[in-house]
C-alpha cells in the first residue's frame, strides 16, 4: 500500500513513469476525467507528451494505472487473504478504511471517484478496474458461486460507504471510529464474499 | 411513487410549482448542481425568476424538492413498512429497484446523483435528504439502537448499488434480474435496519 513516489525527471525508467502517474493523479483529481489531457499531464510532469504515449496506451490506461498506484489492489488483496478465512469480511472493511482514511490518499481517491462518475469513459475505466482488480479477484478466490455478482454486491457496500463517508460526508459515518464500521460491516462482507446462506422466498 | 406532472403555466398554484420542479429536474440533470441556475430554470418553466423565489427559498431547497418529487420518500417508506416486519429488508431492496428501474426515472435519478456529487453544496443537499427523508426515517421507525449509523450503512449498500448498476453499469449488476438482487440484499438490509446481532471481536 505504499505508492512509488519517485520524482526524478530523467527521460526514461521508473522515475519518469512514476512522475507521469503522479502528475496524472493531480490532473484527474483537479479537472475530472474528461477535461484532463495527456498534454496537460505531460506539462505537469515536465516531459514530452510523446513520452507519456510511450508508457501508456492512452488516457484510459493512464487513469487505470493512476488508480492502481493510488489503491495498490495487489497489496489490498494480499492483506485480505492473510489470516483466518472466517474473518475475511472484517479484514476487507478494515483494509478499505486503512487505505481511504490515510489523509494523503483520501482527497485523491474521492477526487478520482468523482472524476470517473461524471464521464462515460471514466465510468468504464473505474468499472473495469473494480471488477478486474479488486472485487472479482476477492470473490473468485473465495470460491463462492456467482463470484461476479457476489463481488459486485460487496463492492457496492464499500463504494457506497466511500461515497457517504468521504464525498457526501454523512455525519453518522464521518464521526464513527473505523472499528465500529468494521464490526458492523464485517459480517455483511463475510456474507457477500464467503458464506452461502440458504435461499429464502 | 407517482410524481405530480402538472404542466399548466398559470402564474400560481400547484401546476406552476410542478412546472418549476419539472424544469429544475431537467436543468440539474443536464448541467449539474453548480451550473444550474434559478434564472435558467425559470426560463425553462416559462415563468419569472421571482416566482421561483416565491415558491422556493433557493437553489438548495429547489434541488431537495426535485429529489423529493422524483423519489417520493413518503410513498417509499409507506411501502417498506406495509407487511411482515421479518421481510422489511427485502421490501427495501424491492422498492428501491422498483423506483430506479422505471425507465422514465432511471436517467433522472442517475443524473441527480451525479450532479450532487460534483459540488459541495449538492453533496450537502443529498446528504440531508437521504438522512432525513429516507434511511433515518426507516431506521428510527424500526427502533434499533444507533438508528443513524444503521440507516446510513443501509443507505451505503443501496447507494453503492445505484452507482454500480445505473452509473458505472457493472455487467454483473446490470444483467441480473431484480429478484436475484432482492434475494441477495434482503438479508443484508434486514441485518442493517432490524436485527441486533451479537457483537463479535
Residue A106 has pLDDT above 90, yes or no: no
What's the ipTM? 0.84
Cell of A103: 489523509
Q: How far apart are CA B85 and CA B194, in angstroms?
A: 8
Contacts of A31 in chain B (CB under 8 A): none
B164/A152 Cβ within 8 A:
yes
Do the beta carbons of residue B117 and residue A122 sit within 8 Å? no
Q: How far apart are CA B29 and CA B107, in angstroms?
A: 8
CB within 8 Å of chain A, chain B residues 22-61: 32
Task: Convert the pLDDT of each residue in A5-61 to its tens digit.
Answer: 444 444 557 789 999 999 999 998 888 888 899 999 999 999 999 999 999 999 999
CA distance to A191, B56, B67, B181, per residue, from B94 (Å): 19, 32, 19, 8
Of B117, B170, B188, the CB nearest to A152: B170
> Cβ–Cβ contacts within 10 Å for residue B3, how many?
18
Residue B195 makes CB contacts below 8 A (sequence gap 6+) with none
Task: Convert the pLDDT of each residue in B131-174 to its tens digit.
Answer: 778 777 777 788 888 888 999 999 999 999 999 999 999 999 99
Task: Convert the pLDDT of each residue in A137-161 to its tens digit.
Answer: 777 788 888 888 999 999 999 999 9
Q: How far apart are CA A105 and CA A38, in angstroms?
A: 23
Picking from A46, A28, A29, A47, the residue whose alpha carbon sits closest to that of residue A37 is: A28
Residue B106 makes CB contacts below 8 A (sequence gap 6+) with B100, B166
- Residue A76 is classified by DSSP as H
Residue B4 makes CB contacts below 8 A (sequence gap 6+) with B14, B18, B69
pLDDT at residue A143 in the model: 81
A153 at interface of B, judged by CB pairs closer than 8 A: yes
Of B152, B172, B186, the CB nearest to A152: B172
Q: Return the SS3 of A119.
A: coil
Q: How far is A59 from chain B (nearest CA, A)?
A: 18
Q: How far apart are CA B191 and CA B197, in angstroms?
A: 8
Cell of B183: 434475494
Q: How far is A136 from chain B (nearest CA, A)?
A: 10
Q: How far is A47 from chain B (nearest CA, A)?
A: 30
Walk me through the domains of chain A, giving residue ranges and CATH numbers.
14-66 (1.10.10.60), 72-193 (1.10.357.10)
A131/B170 Cβ within 8 A:
yes
Task: Convert the pLDDT of each residue in B44-88 to its tens digit.
Answer: 999 999 999 999 999 999 999 998 888 888 888 888 889 999 999
Q: Please tell me the pTM assigned to this model.
A: 0.84
Do the beta carbons of residue A57 and residue A166 sit within 8 Å? no
Cell of B28: 440539474
pLDDT at residue A197 in the model: 57
Contacts of B135 in chain A (CB under 8 A): none
Task: Convert the pLDDT of each residue in B118-129 to its tens digit.
Answer: 788 888 888 888
Contacts of B161 in chain A (CB under 8 A): 153, 156, 160
Residue A28 makes CB contacts below 8 A (sequence gap 6+) with A36, A63, A66, A111, A112, A115
The residue of B134, B151, B163 whose CB has the most chain A CBs within 10 angstroms, and thus the best one to mutate to test that interface, is B163
Q: How far apart are CA B33 and CA B14, in angstroms?
A: 24
Amino acid at each position: 500500500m505504499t505508492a512509488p513516489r519517485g520524482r526524478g525527471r530523467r527521460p526514461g525508467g521508473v522515475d519518469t513513469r512514476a512522475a507521469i502517474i503522479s502528475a496524472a493523479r493531480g490532473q484527474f483529481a483537479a479537472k475530472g476525467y474528461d477535461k484532463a489531457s495527456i498534454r496537460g499531464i505531460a506539462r505537469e510532469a515536465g516531459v514530452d507528451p510523446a513520452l507519456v504515449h510511450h508508457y501508456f496506451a492512452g488516457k484510459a490506461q493512464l487513469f487505470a494505472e493512476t488508480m492502481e498506484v493510488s489503491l495498490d489492489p495487489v497489496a489490498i488483496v494480499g492483506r485480505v487473504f492473510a489470516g483466518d478465512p472466517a474473518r475475511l469480511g472484517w479484514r476487507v472493511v478494515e483494509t478499505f478504511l486503512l487505505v481511504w482514511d490515510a489523509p494523503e490518499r483520501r482527497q485523491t481517491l474521492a477526487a478520482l471517484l468523482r472524476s470517473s462518475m461524471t464521464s462515460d469513459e471514466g465510468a468504464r475505466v473505474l468499472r473495469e478496474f473494480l471488477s478486474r482488480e479488486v472485487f472479482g479477484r476477492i470473490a473468485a478466490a473465495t470460491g463462492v458461486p456467482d463470484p461476479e455478482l457476489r463481488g459486485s454486491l460487496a463492492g457496492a457496500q464499500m463504494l457506497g460507504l466511500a461515497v457517504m463517508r468521504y464525498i457526501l460526508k454523512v455525519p453518522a459515518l464521518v464521526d464513527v471510529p473505523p472499528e465500529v464500521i468494521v464490526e458492523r460491516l464485517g459480517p455483511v462482507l463475510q456474507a457477500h464474499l464467503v458464506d452461502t446462506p440458504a435461499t429464502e422466498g
